[in-house]
Each structure stands twice: as C-alpha cells, then as structure tokens.
Amino acid sequence: MRPAAVVCIFRCSTEDHNPNHRGDVLQTRDVLVKNCGQLLTLARPDGTPRVGADLRDLAIIENGALLCRGGRILATGRLDEVEPVLDDGTDVEVVDAGGAVVMPGFVDCHTHTVFAQYRLDEYEWRVAGTPYEDIASRGGGIAKSVSHVREMEEDSLFAVSRRRLQGLSLIHI
C-alpha cells in the first residue's frame, strides 16, 4: 500500500483575528510540494478551470510538484518545471508527498449535509444535461430527498450526516 499524503493549502480571511489561528503561515511562506506520485488538477492545458463535461477528464501529472504562494497555487507540473518559478531567497517550506497521489481538496460551498440517501443517478443525469423538471418527473429531485429523510430515524440521520463531513477541506454553511 502506498503512503498517503494530505496537504492542506488554504487562503485565510484577513478578518480572522483569532490569536491561535496559524493562517498567516501560508501568507508569508511559499510551499513546495514535491515527489507527488500523481498530481491531479482540474486545470485545462490553457490553465483555465474545467467545467461541465470537461470535469470527466482530470489532468494527471506523473511525478508532479506544485508551488503555492500566499495561499494560492502558483505553479504545477514536474519538479523541473516548477522549481524555476521559485524566487531566490524566498522562505520555502518543502513538503515531500512520498510518492502519494495529491489532489484538490473538496470544498463544499453549498452544503446540504443532512439527507438520507445520495441521488447519484440524478447527478449523472444533470452532468449529461437533463433538465431538473425531467428528473423530477422521473420521481427524483427534492421531493425524493424529503421522502427519504422522513422515512429515516433521527439518530440514523444524524450519524450519516456527521460522517459526510469527514474528508472535506472546507464547508460553508
């Protein structure tokens, strides 16, 4: 089994005045993540983000590296492509991913944590362009979710909802 590497790169709010918060670390230091067995990105070859059906095609960089500055990804590629972007004299924190897969964290900016069952069939239909009205006419949509929630015991609903928060990089409620 390959080792797992978790790298959390975030941008902090300047309004966060918590004295125990260490968000300023990434604001003042570059972070170089190297030795990524595979580096997955959602960027197109021209650097713009993938959307819609393009999300099915990940950019996979074998033996990849990434450089972050100010809490934002500045460069991705093979190490020999990323290293020239480093500024001489810049304080750089080097993270060795140990050959693990490094991928974007999932940021759920529209959180619906409490639900009884996934509607993966509906997700596939939406990605394929099926209008919501058609999905609802097939028995899907919010009415399906409401029905499943009403059928589930409250303790069970809480337990499955709590598990859904694991593995998220960030949620917005």
Residue intervals of the chain classified under CATH 2.30.40.10 are: 25-104
- pLDDT score at 22: 45
Determine the residue type at 149. V
Distance CA 23, CA 3 (A): 27
Under the banding of pLDDT at 50, 70 and 90, the label for residue 62 is very high
Provide the sign of the torsion angle of the four alpha carbons 148, 153, 154, 157, taken in this order: negative
What average pLDDT does the segment 66-95 reach? 86
- pLDDT greater than 50 at residue 77: yes
- pLDDT greater than 90 at residue 146: yes
- pLDDT score at 1: 43
Tokens representing residue 64 in the block: 């990849």
Distance CA 99, CA 33 (A): 11
- pLDDT greater than 60 at residue 15: no
- For 17-50, what is each residue's pLDDT tens digit? 344 444 444 345 788 999 999 999 888 888 788 8
Average pLDDT of the chain, as a whole number: 80
- 8 A C-beta contact, residue 23 and residue 16: yes
| Rg from Cα positions in the chain | 20
- pLDDT score at 98: 93
What average pLDDT does the segment 146-156 reach? 94
- For 101-130, what is each residue's pLDDT tens digit? 998 876 767 777 888 998 888 989 999 999
Instruction: Say which CATH class 25-104 falls into.
Output: mainly beta
- 8 A C-beta contact, residue 170 and residue 108: yes
Does residue 146 or residue 46 have the better pLDDT? 146
- pLDDT score at 129: 93
- pLDDT score at 28: 57
- pLDDT greater than 80 at residue 88: no
Distinct helix (H) and strand (E) counts, the chain: 6, 7
